[in-house]
Structure 1
Amino acid sequence: MSVIFTNDGFPSRADHLRALWTPVLFSPRLSSPENLVIGVASATETDFYLAEANAWRRLHCLFGDGAETALLAARVALDVLKSDLSERGQTALHEPRQTFSGITMGELREGEGSSLKQIATTWLASLSSLYDAGLAERIERSEEVLPVSAEAKAKADRLPVLVLEYVEQHRPRLSSFFHAEIREKRERKRKPRAQDIYIGFAGSSLVANFATLPAKRSNTIIDHIKRLMWDLEQDRDAAGALDRQRKYEMIVKHQDKYDPHITEKQFGDVLEVVDELGEQGRKRDIAVIPRVTVPEIGNHVLELEQAA
């Protein structure tokens, strides 16, 4: 029996891309050369992907009571890096900005893979003791049962940007806690990448997502909000007991009962949706906070972040 090998029998590299990648290093003790790999960034000239550590609870084994401070510093640094990558692309890897003490970029290397995500996550799994590949797979499988691209179907919601602008007017320093896409004041035009966890605001005391409920019931918007609640749950569970001091909230805005643009029946329907979301939140241990104005939401954020 003879076996004939052809090019069709081997994986093709034609669809592979080459990209730059670098580990993100965190030194929790400034006097020590010890580093932890908390992420891997990969980028081409036109796009980027930041794979982030997800087994944050392991920090407690290393730092005990100091783990919460280390966790907050690491996660805020990753948010800032993601913003920098979205603004400067590959330049952010060639010329990294020193944003926080103890956060540095490792050696810049070139890699090849089927996607930026594949390059970044493969190297993160190889280099980091704070990454759990099994957890990442479980999250990805869970996403398959969620409504597909609920964010992409939902109408552009200006609420997060309006809350940012209000908070920025009263306490500019808090703006860095908002997601990079909110700070850039642009819509989420790209389809969310698989395994991305979207958090609108990640402060020292509050972690929150924001969404607007329309007067007319929309299952697409409701699915979108439930997905944002799921993101909050995944973000909290990844940190484990380390985030026990931060509040996780889904903040929803709806029209006031006396708004002339909403009928009494529509207002009743809105309250039913709020109750429905509240029940979902209780199951996930995520608080659902309904408000009727942007200042109310902004003041709520300011009050919880008084120490920042």
Structure 2
Amino acid sequence: MDLYAPRAFGYLIGDTITLEAVVTLDAGWRLDESALPRPRPVTYWLDLKRLDVKPETASDGAPRYRLTLTYQTFYSPLEPRALDIPAVPLAARDGDARQTLTIPAWTFVSSPLRELVASQRGNPMALQPDIRPRPYPLAGDARLAAVAAAMAAASLLAFAAASGWGPFAGRHRPFATALRHMRRLPDLDAQLGYEDALQLLHRAFDDAAGYRLFGEDLPAFLAARPALTGEAEAIDRFFTASRLAFFGDAPETAMALLPPEALIDLARRLAATERRSGVRKEAA
């Protein structure tokens, strides 16, 4: 039985004390857990708050246990006083054989919180004069704060313009909205996800035209929007793929004609053209 203890002095009311006992047994013996102490009041001024048991193996293979006992003292002496943490009985078993062990008692010194009689050397609680604050240059911090605020405002304006917030609400961007929703589709490579993406881009064309747009309406739609004429072939391929997917019962053929990545790329180019030239319903 080896006992490891902290300092033996300088403890005040409410302090915790941790003792560590290392118990080494002969081969075949084990510590009887039913005989271990439980967290409880030990005396009127001492509580056992916690007990941790860690099984180990000694260098020679013998069983060994490391017990960590955490106590809390509630004794408030009027002057320094020695107090004892009582011995702790343990038990070990080997089959029906039983052996009693003991963690030895330990003594420590408890100290009062304050002197019983005040010192005559003056008032130790007299307040010292306040320390005068030293000036701190704020010009550099103010410049950094101004730059950060300007950058934040510029970023907010750019985001508002891209999202159509506030004064930018009039800049309706159906293709940008469709692209944003298409990018959130989790299964674009599957038939259902691909058809959802087709429908999103269809709604964007309808929104930009101001009416339900069909393939036969494309010449008039593109004539009214010269900025989109460079995408005429890709737009026509989109409408052809959509017709195959929804009305031709040939989704695989549609995906071969306009693969999912090409569909996303078309939406990205349409959104970019929309952003540069302001393609929207009012242009019709």
Q: Considering Cα pairs closer than 8 Å and 6+ residues apart, tell me whether 1 or 2 has the greater RCO.
A: 1
Larger radius of gyration: 2
Greater strand proportion: 2
Pairwise same-fold verdict (TM > 0.5) = no
Q: TM-score range by the shorter chain?
A: under 0.3
State TM-score, norm by structure 2.
Answer: 0.20
Greater helix percent: which structure?
A: 1
